[in-house]
Amino acid sequence: MADIKKIICAVDFSDYSPKVAEYASMIGGCVNAQIVVLYVAPSLSQYVGFHVPPSSIESFVGEIVTGAEDTMNEFVKDNFKDLNVQGKVVTGYPAEEILSIAEAEKADMIVMGTHGRKGIDRILFGSVAEKVVKSSSVPVLTVRPE
């Protein structure tokens, strides 16, 4: 039987994130695992050089991270009762950061939502969940929007 001691629960704070948290909470509670709730804020580093001073971008990202940390604290409090949970906010590209944090934390499982993009959106933006599933060395549970 698989030994699950740590779960990464990747959320984007959308209306669907509590559903993803519900799955991570259920699994984590059943196996007494630690849950790391992860939110990846955009780094916006790709916009440096577009006539926007880097200091403005850094300031804006700082504000996003501060707001995300406050949101994370509320999200953890509202969605994970009596469990061993840690909230974490990082900046970067979501798929890369989810995989990187899962490896750094020595996670045994990743739980994340999918947005079910179709057509041109999927071609242009790809799927974070798809990238994580294809590249992860640990099992990934994807939760689809209803």
CB atoms within 10 A of CB 125: 10
Question: Which among 32-46, 99-113, 122-136 has the top mean pLDDT?
Answer: 99-113
For the chain, the average pLDDT equals: 86
**106 three-class SS:** coil
Give yes or no for a contact between 117 and 87, defined as CB atoms under 8 angstroms apart.
no
Query: Cα–Cα distance between 86 and 80 in angstroms, integer?
Result: 10
**Residue 34: which H helix or E strand, with range?**
strand 34-41
Token pair listed for 125 = 């933006």
Q: pLDDT of 88-103, one tens digit each?
A: 999 888 999 999 999 9
What is the model's pTM? 0.84
Q: What is the CATH number of domain 6-143?
A: 3.40.50.620
Mean pLDDT over 38-66 rounds to: 67
CA angle 118, 115, 91 (to 5 degrees): 120
Token pair listed for 3 = 């030994």
Query: Cα–Cα distance between 112 and 143 in angstroms, integer?
Result: 6
Domain ranges in the chain are: 6-143
Query: Which pLDDT does position 43 carry in this prediction?
Result: 73
88 closest CA partner among 79, 75, 96, 78? 75
Q: pLDDT of 59-116, one tens digit each?
A: 666 677 778 899 999 999 999 988 999 999 998 889 999 999 999 999 999 999 987 6
